[in-house]
Amino acid sequence: MNELREQCPWDREQTFESLRHLTIEETYELSEAILDKDIDSIKKELGDLMLHLVFYAKIGTEKNSFDIGDVIQYINDKLVFRHPHIYGDVEANDAKTVKDNWEKLKLKEGRKSVLSGVPVALPPLVKAYRIQEKAKGVGFDWEKPEQVWDKVLEEMEELKTEVDSGNDQDKMEHELGDLLFALVNYARFIGVNPEDALERTNRKFISRFMHLEKKATESGRSLKDMTLAEMDVFWEEAKKMENIG
């Protein structure tokens, strides 16, 4: 990295701000490799991400702000502080207790709110999940999955009422947001990560739709010229192929 910052025109021009969107991209590429269970790609993407960490530390050194040693020392100190059940006299015999203690310790670090640790820039679905997890960490949560499901049904009815009236777009958006938030909550209660679940469905849709496009091309037709019933034949064919696999 020292050589690149000295000798490469592109690397020399980079800043915290210019690297930011590239780091986000690399993180999503790592996420994709994990979802694909592609170990070789996970290794490669971790290398790309590690490069960014070294890059940021190098820029920090140039600014006389911090170096890679400071970064590592910080995370070491934080891990020791947040694991009093290992480095202190606190007892924690299960993962839930550890997570609950983790959120309480964050408040001791000076945060004014449990929710202040949720990044503003997170995608809304991920943000909803993290908000709910953090609220749970201090005991603000439902008791049973059945209660959350009742809330989902309640929000569905409220959304339907607004849609049926059809008069207020803002209210419909409000109720849809409440429904999505309730569904994220229910997903959390049944042990399903909603982000992973939605991405799985996205990929499934893409696979089926591409099969539909392929079959349409093979038959010498355009999707625009086909009826929904005709397209559904190929769609069902794609679903059967998934089951065979």
Domain assignments of the chain as residue spans, ordered by start: 2-81, 114-191, 196-244
pLDDT score of 103 more than 80: no
% of the chain at pLDDT higher than 90: 78
What's the mean pLDDT in 225-243? 90
pLDDT band at 245 (very low <50, low <70, confident <90, very high): very low
Select, from the ranges 51-60, 84-93, 119-128, 131-140, the one with the highest average predicted confidence (pLDDT): 51-60
- The highest-level CATH class for domain 114-191 is mainly alpha
Tens digit of each residue's pLDDT (9 = 90 or more) over 166-200: 889 999 999 999 999 999 999 999 999 999 999 99
Check whether domain 2-81 has CATH 1.10.287.1080, yes or no: yes
Domains 2-81 and 114-191 share a fold: yes
How far apart are the C-alpha atoms of 137 and 100, rounded to whole Å?
A: 4
CA distances to 42, 68, 211 from 49, rounded to whole Å, are 10, 15, 34
